[in-house]
Amino acid sequence: MGKGSIKFDPKKFQQKLLTLVNDKDSIYGLTTAFFNHKDYAQQTVKIWISAFESGNIDFRLALIYLANEILHNCKRKDASVYKDEFKKVLPNALSQLKGTNIVDKVVRVLELWSDRKLLDSAVCSGLIAGISAIEDAKIDPELIKNFSPDSVISALKEFLIMETDTASKERQLGCMISSEIHSPAAVRQIKDRSHGEAYRQQLEESCQRLEDLVRDLERLEERREALLSLLEKAHMFFAAQYSDVNVVVTAYKKYGEMVAFMRRRVEDRLVDSPEAPSPPADTADDFGAEVAVLSRREDEMEIDSGDENGQGAAVHHKQQQSSKRRHRKHRRHSGSSGGAGSVGHRDRAPVSGKSGNSRKRSS
């Protein structure tokens, strides 16, 4: 049991949590109870989600404020484990608040968590999208198919430029209106026709700028309405994307849990199963002998295997050696015979035409 943690009784803790009301003292008291049992963060958060699912709408809002207080102080109380535990249960809890009258209040709490880095911005954005997601029946499939996120970025940039220019014109016009030209004293100071003409030109110029500003504000308002419409479509698009991604993530989480479960079962069986006996020495010798016999057979098969006419490289080599031996033997026999027999033998060897010429010379 960690330092600062006391004995945990789930039933007593649940009974105390059910006394929670949307009051500062009540929330602070329950926050202290959570930190006193920080070593049992998983159990306490399970009790929190159980109470959330069974409570009415006001009690659920009080539980959200309680979670807010815990997340704000968990780092200071060395209880950051509550961040991980609440991240596991918040998506399921907040999905039950769709269409209720406390959605706006909960969204403000989530935005506060994102701004103060109590939870990751991506997590908070996903929770906000989940709590305010449009129902599937209201989502137009053609919108999802044809929507381009780049169009939102371009529209935001154009609106920002227009808004900046309009604000600059408004400031300039405000300086002109607040000048002495538009004061009653400036009118009383007109002495002659030329002064009156100059004053009239300045006044007309101010009116023209005011009319231009009004037109710019009207265009800005139209662009703002178009941007809001585009953002609503973007909200539908990203809500649908988040829903699809959430399905995939849930499937992979379940698959990972199944793999981890099967791994534990295999490891348990490996620990419980007896070790396989080693093979005896004579078996190893027999195996080595069989390998040697198989190796010799493979060598013989390589020698016997030839080309398509049945003549392999080894057979061809033997035939060449035999042919050379017969040739040497024939030359020795021819040398020992000598004389005409030798010549006659040599003459009989060439083509028949040369043999006829030899007979004519002898005659």
Q: What residue ranges do the domains of the chain occupy?
A: 10-132, 142-259
Return the pLDDT at 82. 95
Here the tokens at position 177 are 């209106």
Return the pLDDT at 344. 43
pTM tops 0.85, yes or no = no
Q: Is 7 helix (H, G, I), strand (E, B) or coil?
A: coil
Below-70 pLDDT ranges, the chain: 1-6, 133-139, 176-188, 274-363
Return the pLDDT at 326. 61
Give the chain's mean pLDDT: 77
Q: What is the CATH number of domain 10-132?
A: 1.25.40.90
Residue 38 sits at φ, ψ, to 5 deg, of -65, -25
Return the pLDDT at 112. 92
Return the pLDDT at 349. 44
Q: Residue 298 — left, alpha, or beta (φ > 0 → left; ψ -120 to 50 → alpha)?
A: alpha
In whole angstroms, give the CA distance from residue 100 to residue 98: 6
Tell me the CA distances in angstroms from 179 to 3, 175, 176, 183, 204, one per residue in order. Answer: 70, 6, 5, 7, 15
Q: Count the alpha carbons within 13 Å of 50 in the hemisphere toward its beta carbon.
A: 13
Contact 129, 242 (CB under 8 A): yes
Residues near 15 by beta carbon (within 8 Å), at least 6 away in sequence:
none
Return the pLDDT at 11. 93
Query: For 77, which DSSP code?
Result: T
Contact 59, 20 (CB under 8 A): yes
Return the pLDDT at 99. 78
Residues near 136 by beta carbon (within 8 Å), at least 6 away in sequence:
240, 243
User: Which residue type occupies 301?
Assistant: M
In whole angstroms, give the CA distance from residue 29 to residue 70: 11
